[in-house]
Structure 1
Amino acid sequence: MLMTPLARTLHAHCFHSVIPQALQFGTGLIVDLSPSSDLWRNVTTNHSFADEIVRQAEAIDAVIVIGRYAEQRLIYQDKANFSDSKNRTVHMGIDLGVAALTPVFAPIEGTVHSIANHQGDGDYGPTIILRHQLEGMTFFTLYGHLHQAAHTMLNVGDMISEGEQFTAIGTTAENGGWAPHLHLQIIENMGSKTNDYIGVVDPAELVFYRNNCPNPNLILKRNDLD
């Protein structure tokens, strides 16, 4: 797939780590949650896919569990947040599975575009969107499944310096019911959206969303995700 101008610019830029470097670039379990994954062979009534991910991560001493970009998943359909959108199955961010309260840093200078708390079952939970400028281009980064108490002093319009901690990873109790992780997503054009942006899309709309939401690994730069 050809890179958009924004994707080419992000690819060439060196960003600050989004979580502590030892985690972002440490030994990782890259999870395959697609319908054909071997992971599902080990899922039973008493051993969920989340349990299986923990087992696999422990087996390789992984310090981070990574969920893939543009991956089709069927794990959302029993969540209330997806009750009226069963065709939404393709994940448009990268998930960084680390412990709750892990700090989250700005990869590049930006301003706080929005702060929200989407508390539906399966939703983002506490969410921040930053607005950035890079080589004359505007883009946004979305951070979902956050710890609400970590950014209570933050306001829309605040300037966040590159490398500044501005929030932290949330707990399962507050993050929409998921295991603690950060959903990182890049958005070129927010359209009519303000404090939210779709993170799981209908495959029929994938061409549009792949162009508007390029691979977050353009920021993370893990070699094993290319």
Structure 2
Amino acid sequence: MNRNLEELLKEQKNIKVIDSSIDYRDYVALDLSATHTDQLDLNLTDALIFEEFIENHLSNNKAKVAFGGYIETRNLYRRSTVFKNENTDERNIHIGLDLWIKAGTSVLAALDGKIHSFQDNTALGDYGPTIILEHNYENITFYTLYGHLSSESLLEKEIGKIVKKGEQIATLGAAPINGDYAPHLHFQIIKDLQGKFGDYPGVCSRKEVEFYLENCPDPNFLLNIE
């Protein structure tokens, strides 16, 4: 009987992709959906104001990490032509999981694998420095993407280098290095990279969502954050 990736992900245990010393009990959910942020008096285009908003959310909930965003429709991306121009549909549905915590926090390989590619995606609102790992478990090949990293994270990286589960591969970047966002990790699981190198869409349009739901499973299958 052939197994699928989702089943394999759910069987993995004790997975962390940022600072392993922080227990999942110290995480708090964060709603950045358009319906919620439209109700807030919050300038989504100012990374420093947004960072203060995140820090207040953590403080108010006595938490260390805010998380969420998979298949969340957001208004965060309207400031950038990366997500909408005269020739494209608006891309505003987030297809990874965001983990919000301060710049400099360690970023860890989710699973054993190797470096597939890396790149600095420098456009406003893009990932900034990005690393993609390739994994093969039980003859199933898939990828994990780590976006919004520091510039230093790309130094001395080599395609094909072996990495181990829990190994530090990067640190989180600050605005504007990270695409001009409050510091956070964009973590995404991808079945088929479609020939991409150092980059893969982390936000899709409404008409594309069915494809990306299939190609990019919920990262919480793997992380299992309660």
Measured after TM superposition, the shift of residue 79 of structure 1 is 1.7
Task: Please say if residues 118 and 197 of structure 2, whose CA atoms lie closer than 8 Å, have aligned partners that are also in contact.
Answer: no
2:21 aligned with 1:18: no
Separation of aligned partners in 1, 2:172 and 2:159 = 19
1:42 corresponds, among 40, 43, 61, to 40
Structure 1, residues 97-133: CA drift from partner, whole Å, max 9, x if none?
1111111111211110001000100000000000001
Measured after TM superposition, the shift of residue 67 of structure 1 is 2.8
Task: Please say if residues 146 and 167 of structure 1, whose CA atoms lie closer than 8 Å, have aligned partners that are also in contact.
Answer: yes
What residue in structure 1 maps to residue 131 of structure 2? 128
Separation of aligned partners in 2, 1:112 and 1:196 = 13
What 5-or-longer segments of structure 2 have no aligned partner? Answer: none
Task: Please say if residues 43 and 50 of structure 2, whose CA atoms lie closer than 8 Å, have aligned partners that are also in contact.
Answer: no
Task: Please say if residues 69 and 91 of structure 1, whose CA atoms lie closer than 8 Å, have aligned partners that are also in contact.
Answer: yes
Q: Percent identity?
A: 35
What residue in structure 1 maps to residue 102 of structure 2? 99
Separation of aligned partners in 1, 2:16 and 2:199 = 23
The amino acid of 1:21's aligned partner reads S
Measured after TM superposition, the shift of residue 192 of structure 1 is 2.3
Instruction: Give the paired residue count.
Output: 219
What residue in structure 1 maps to residue 208 of structure 2? 205
Measured after TM superposition, the shift of residue 148 of structure 1 is 1.6
Structure 1, residues 175-203: CA drift from partner, whole Å, max 9, x if none?
00000000000000111212210000011
Task: Please say if residues 73 and 94 of structure 2, whose CA atoms lie closer than 8 Å, have aligned partners that are also in contact.
Answer: yes
User: In the TM superposition, what are the counterparts of 1:23-172 in structure 2 within 5 Å?
Assistant: 23=22, 25-37=24-36, 39-44=37-42, 50-84=51-85, 85-172=88-175
Task: Please say if residues 17 and 110 of structure 2, whose CA atoms lie closer than 8 Å, have aligned partners that are also in contact.
Answer: yes
The amino acid of 1:60's aligned partner reads N
- Greater alpha carbon shift after TM alignment, 137-146 vs 149-158: 149-158
SS at match of 1:11: helix
The amino acid of 2:57's aligned partner reads Q
Structure 1, residues 6-46: CA drift from partner, whole Å, max 9, x if none?
11111112253111234361423312122222x54331569
Separation of aligned partners in 2, 1:163 and 1:56 = 27
What 5-or-longer segments of structure 1 have no aligned partner? Answer: none
TM-score (normalised: structure 2): 0.89
- Greater alpha carbon shift after TM alignment, 176-185 vs 58-67: 58-67
- Greater alpha carbon shift after TM alignment, 8-17 vs 141-150: 8-17
